[in-house]
Amino acid sequence: MYVNEAKGDDASRAAPAARDDATLLLQLTNISKRFPGVVALDGVDFDLRRGEVHVLFGENGAGKSTLINIIAGTYPPDTGSFKFEGKDITQLTPHAARVIGISPVFQEFSLVPMLTVEQNLFLGRELTTGGLLNRPAMHAKAKAIIQELGFDLDPDRKVQELSRAHQQMAEIAKAFLTDVRLLILDEPTASLTETEAARLFELVAKLKNAGVGIIYVSHRMREIKQIADRITVLRDGHKVATVNAGDVTETELVELMTGRKIGVLFPEIECRPGATLLSVEHLTLSNGSVKDMSFYARAGEITGIAGLVGCGKSEAIRAIFGLEAIAEGTIQVDGELVTRPRPASMLRRGVCYFPSDRVAEGLALARPVRENASMAALDLPAFARRSVLQRRSERRAVQKIVDRLNLRPPHIERAVANFSGGNRQKVLLARGLTRDISVFLFDEPTVGIDVGAKVEVYELMKELAEAGAAIVLVSSELPEVMSLSHRLYVMHRSHLVAELTGDDINEPEVLSHFFREHAATPAAALMQG
């Protein structure tokens, strides 16, 4: 072999290979990971070069977060090989990952609420002298990093006292503390203003030039176009494709992601607005997450509320259902004033809320579908007479609803824990159908469920709206809330900033409201300081 080294064609063939080896930072081959009841990743290949931004693209539940968690060492893959800088890595722990230069910025923050920003930054790698913490040194370094990042963040504040945007900044700062070789950013701009996001992109560019590999998870097309070198699309735990960012259009990307032509995903819903069933005036919540919000929802219409995570849109509909403390404002259901909303009384008035966090707030996982579905209707004669359960009629009623929702498998005595995300959502929806509900409050109804189940949820909304129900849809997924809503409200930092109808419901228009006033924010901060 080596004798022939001087030969021109051999040398030229060897060169790119050597170059590849040198530029390849991370190489994952045939990675699989299953969790009880789900295959999160199935034979996925992924590689990352030095100085590259590689975007991971896919729907919620496609396996993006499982993949980045495996890279960050949170849990080991079941099968497959993991090579970092050419070396085989096994038994990776979060600590070992940080030591070799893998810094993750998670969307689910890895912050301890009771500790200060500075304490969180250094968590797991405190600076010590003689066995004791070197607090002055850590303080100085924390200050320096926050300054370099250009964040308006006080290192002495406790994380639990920070807004979501500031927590996001702390999370990002945490990744920059050590010598980074591979940076993972999981939707880092979800709660940043445009200026802050721009600042972050500058940093990303700087790191790129320094040869750091960056894995970037995002749904935002604009961002992806701006910073991506390559894009890997995941769907239902499989890798669909890896493409060069310059070679694809937005539409192609979305089609790769959903596995179907767009347009088919969202049904055409007829809009026949009727009476105003829900009207809210000057709503302000005790915790300040919603301020002076007025809106209404009409029968036969889908009313959307869009906004960034943490803008107060979820809190608003939770308050209507009596789950958040209201400081001021009035709520009218079907023309009747509701002074103190409580879930029980709102259900009786025909208002039902579907929580986004189905496990924490929606379902009793260990109990069967039947009990979960009828939970909110046990005061009706069909389910209980004088506090004695009518089990047979309960079974019949629930089975009927479950069949209509296409629950798979349609076994109503099976524990909810044994169903997948999409089917769990159907069980939750079944709860709203057990009684006469005219106002449906959906809070992120398609988070964490697969495309097929999404379509079914949308079909159900269509059915309900066309049958004359008022639907309020709160969603952080822009395409969803834009395509389904007949009327769309946009929230920004606790305030309702726009009401859009018809052709005004388009991405640039909505985004301009998402980020409005951001120019005024630094000025306000200065005045405070």
Chain residues binding another protein by CB under 8 A are 72, 74, 93-99, 104, 106, 108-115, 119-120, 123-126, 128, 131-133, 135, 157, 160-163, 166, 174, 287-289, 520, 523-524, 527-528
**Closest CB to another protein among residues 15, 96:** 96
**Closest CB to another protein among residues 143, 157:** 157
Closest contact distance (angstroms) between CB of 93 and another protein is 7
200 token code pair = 């972050």
Q: Give yes or no for a contact between 181 and 154, defined as CB atoms under 8 angstroms apart.
A: no
Closest contact distance (angstroms) between CB of 69 and another protein is 8
Closest contact distance (angstroms) between CB of 176 and another protein is 14
Amino acid present at 26: L
Closest contact distance (angstroms) between CB of 490 and another protein is 21
Closest contact distance (angstroms) between CB of 112 and another protein is 4
Among 161, 215, 221, 171, smallest CA distance to 191 is for 171
Closest contact distance (angstroms) between CB of 322 and another protein is 17
* Helix, coil or strand: residue 453: helix
Closest contact distance (angstroms) between CB of 500 and another protein is 25
**Closest CB to another protein among residues 76, 288:** 288
Closest contact distance (angstroms) between CB of 444 and another protein is 20
Could you identify the residue written with the tokens 């975007």? Answer: 55
Among 452, 443, 490, smallest CA distance to 471 is for 443
470-475/439-443 β-pairing: parallel
**Closest CB to another protein among residues 95, 282:** 95
Radius of gyration (Cα) for the chain, nearest Å? 26
Closest contact distance (angstroms) between CB of 3 and another protein is 49
DSSP count for the chain of H helices, then E strands: 18, 24
Q: Give yes or no for a contact between 268 and 459, defined as CB atoms under 8 angstroms apart.
A: no
Q: Give yes or no for a contact between 484 and 269, defined as CB atoms under 8 angstroms apart.
A: yes
**Closest CB to another protein among residues 111, 429:** 111
d(CA 92, CA 412): 41
Closest contact distance (angstroms) between CB of 116 and another protein is 11
Among 306, 529, 126, 209, smallest CA distance to 314 is for 306
Closest contact distance (angstroms) between CB of 443 and another protein is 19
**Closest CB to another protein among residues 17, 527:** 527
**Closest CB to another protein among residues 14, 112:** 112
Listing DSSP states for 104-171 in one string gives EE-SS----TTSBHHHHHTTTS--EETTEE-HHHHHHHHHHHHHHHT----TTSBGGGS-HHHHHHHH
**Closest CB to another protein among residues 208, 318:** 318
Q: In what helix (H) or strand (E) does residue 490 lie, and over which residues does it extend? A: strand 487-492
Q: In what helix (H) or strand (E) does residue 454 lie, and over which residues does it extend? A: helix 451-466
d(CA 24, CA 150): 31
> Is-cis flag, bond preceding 76, omega within 30?
no
**Closest CB to another protein among residues 110, 284:** 110
Count the alpha carbons within 13 Å of 434 in the hemisphere toward its beta carbon. Answer: 31
Closest contact distance (angstroms) between CB of 195 and another protein is 17
> Is-cis flag, bond preceding 409, omega within 30?
yes
**Closest CB to another protein among residues 86, 113:** 113
d(CA 472, CA 133): 52
For 283, other C-beta atoms within 10 Å of its C-beta total 24
Q: Give yes or no for a contact between 400 and 391, defined as CB atoms under 8 angstroms apart.
A: no
First-to-last C-alpha distance (Å) of the chain? 70
60 token code pair = 């919620």
